Amino acid sequence: MNETRLSRRALIAGAGTAALAAPALAKLAAGGMIDLVLPGGPSLRPTTPAFPGKGEMIVQRIRPPLLETPMEVFREGIITPNDRMFVRWNWDMPTQVKAAEHRVAVGGAVKNAVSLTLNDIAAAGETVEVVAINQCAGNGRGLSSPRVTGTQWGNGAMGCAKWTGVRLKDVLAKAGLAAGARRVRFAGLDVPLTDGAPQFIKSIPMDIALRDDVLVAWGMNDAPLSILHGFPLRIVVPGWFSTYWVKMLSTIEVLTGEDDSYYVADSYRIPAQPITPETKDFPTVPVTAMPPRAFITSHGDGEVVALGKPLVLDGIAMGGDAALERVDLVGKGWEIPCTLGPDEGPFAFRRWSVKLPQVAGDFESIGVRARNVNGAVQPEALAWNPSGYARNVIERMTLRAQ
Ligand SMILES: Nc1nc2c(c(=O)[nH]1)N[C@H]1C(S)=C(S)[C@@H](COP(=O)(O)O)O[C@H]1N2
Ligand SMILES: [Mo]
């Protein structure tokens, strides 16, 4: 990409090719190791600064890339820098995309099927910015006990960015919805590695698609999307898990019925009712809106704190699909309300902090519990499911006093 800063003019000019060089193997080898402390499985992962445009990231897989954000990145601010945002591709993505040649086909149950250039998209409506958390539905899956299948993520498959784009509903209006339009499905330029495997396509119900904050976005923290994050365009659905945030958007298809495609009908689903690991057959629903979560970022598990001294703990929290209402520090049989930091909107991270007057001894099992304005609150026990989706159990840690 030639432009380093994002401008609508740059997008409209349609200039530029984004390309991704292969990570340098020498640099890959030069990274460190990090322990994700995953129960019941290998938990050491290499880290590397070798991916283009990326700082030090945890390598879950090289190709297609799965890169996790180290928790220390969440110690400051609420915006995750672009070079530290986690990366997830189901299938390999193209490593070069020419902006001038890129088209988005809008079809299906529409009045006039259209093929839109980046200029057309940028001019479809008002430019909108929204600060929203990009979180994989499988974030924290590796912490499941008993263990589940899928990428063994720690809690770093999340990040918060400012997204810039136009409203999806303005793009849909270029084609016009036909009678009976019920869902909107998205596809990107990435295709399966193996013959016959399903393409990564995802759909959302019409009431969500028409929301004012659901975007076709080209900007991430005031920079154009990189190849890894979906150049030139991606869907942003604030408050919903980012499995719906289709990258390298190339097709928008309006459906009149349910979506029977693999990644909606068969995958990314959670039990409709709580189950145990022994439950065999159970009804499922798609994983959609995010629940509240909170994390202590000032300290790590097992860290030593000063006995007899005051202690300040802080971290980040999120309300999920509704604004955060409160965060409490919770121990065994006690809880203390935390102070919330600046509010950057309902879908952003928000900082919290709490000052304890004096450390009297070890903290055996402390955590933070977020609650949103809809009354959703983090549970004490894990809602275990076979894919480890939508984890939001209160995360606990131990601090030693010395
Ligand atoms: N085209 C395309 N879009 C995609 C995916 C994909 O595999 N292909 N993966 C989705 C999933 S599961 C996640 S978690 C997010 C990750 O976005 P990021 O890599 O920008 O962090 O992208 C989503 N959009
Ligand atoms: Mo994901």
Check residue 1 and give its pLDDT: 34
Mean pLDDT of 94-114: 97
Best of 163, 185, 242, 244 to mutate for ligand 1, by most ligand atoms within 8 A of CB?
242
Q: 144-148 long-range CB contacts below 8 Å, 24 or more apart?
A: 144/39, 144/382, 144/384, 144/388, 144/391, 145/39, 145/40, 145/382, 145/384, 146/40, 146/277, 146/384, 147/39, 147/40, 147/41, 148/384, 148/385, 148/386, 148/387, 148/388
Ligand 2 centre distance from Cα of residue 143 (Å):
16
For ligand 1, residues with CB inside 6 Å are 85-90, 134, 136, 188, 190, 200, 229-230, 242-243, 245-248
- What is the DSSP code string of 212-264? TT-EEEEEETTEEPPTTTTTT-EEE-TTB-GGGS-SSEEEEEEESS---SHHH
Domain spanning 293-401: which CATH class is it, in words?
Answer: mainly beta
Distance from the alpha carbon of residue 28 to the mean position of ligand 2, in angstroms: 23
From the CA of 200, which ligand is nearest? 1
The reply to whether domains 96-267 and 293-401 share a CATH topology is no
Q: Whose CA is nearest to atom 21 of ligand 1?
A: 87
Q: Give the Å distance between the CA of 295 and the centre of ligand 1.
A: 23
Rounded to whole angstroms, the Cα distance separating 148 from 194 reads 24
CA distance 140 to 10: 37
Ligand nearest to the CA of 137: 2
Domain ranges in the chain? 96-267, 293-401
- Cα of 212 vs centre of ligand 1, distance in Å, is 22
Which ligand has the nearest atom to the CA of 69?
1
Least confident of 28-37, 59-68, 166-175: 28-37
How remote is the CA of residue 238 from the centroid of ligand 2, in Å? 14
Which residue has a Cα nearest atom 18 of ligand 1? 87
- Residue 17 has a pLDDT of 76
How many angstroms does the Cα of residue 402 sit away from the middle of ligand 1? 44
- CA 2 to ligand 1 centroid distance, Å: 24
- Domain 96-267: state its class: alpha beta
pLDDT of res. 20: 78
Report pLDDT for 195.
86
Could you please report the per-residue DSSP string of 93-126? --SEEEGGG--EEEEESBSS-EEE-HHHHHTSS-
**Residue 207 CB partners (closer than 8 Å, separation 6+):** none
Cβ atoms within 10 Å, residue 326: 18
CB 92 within 8 A of CB 190: yes
Q: Residues 143-188: pLDDT tens digits?
A: 999 999 999 999 999 999 999 999 999 999 999 999 999 999 999 9
Q: Which one-letter amino acid corresponds to residue 2?
A: N
Look at ligand 1, atom 11, and give the residue with the nearest C-alpha.
243
Question: Atom 6 (ligand 1): residue with closest C-alpha?
Answer: 89
Ligand 1 atom with the smallest distance to the CA of 136 is 14
- Rounded distance, CA 140 to CA 398, Å? 18
Question: Could you tell which of 89, 160, 193 is best to mutate to test the pocket of ligand 1, judged by most ligand atoms within 8 Å of the CB?
Answer: 89
Confidence of residue 2 (pLDDT cuts 50, 70, 90): very low
Short-list 217, 252, 232, 254, CA closest to 115? 252
Contacts for 294 with CB less than 8 Å, ≥ 6 apart: 315, 316, 317, 318, 327, 352, 367, 368, 369, 370, 378, 394, 395
pLDDT at 3 over 70: no
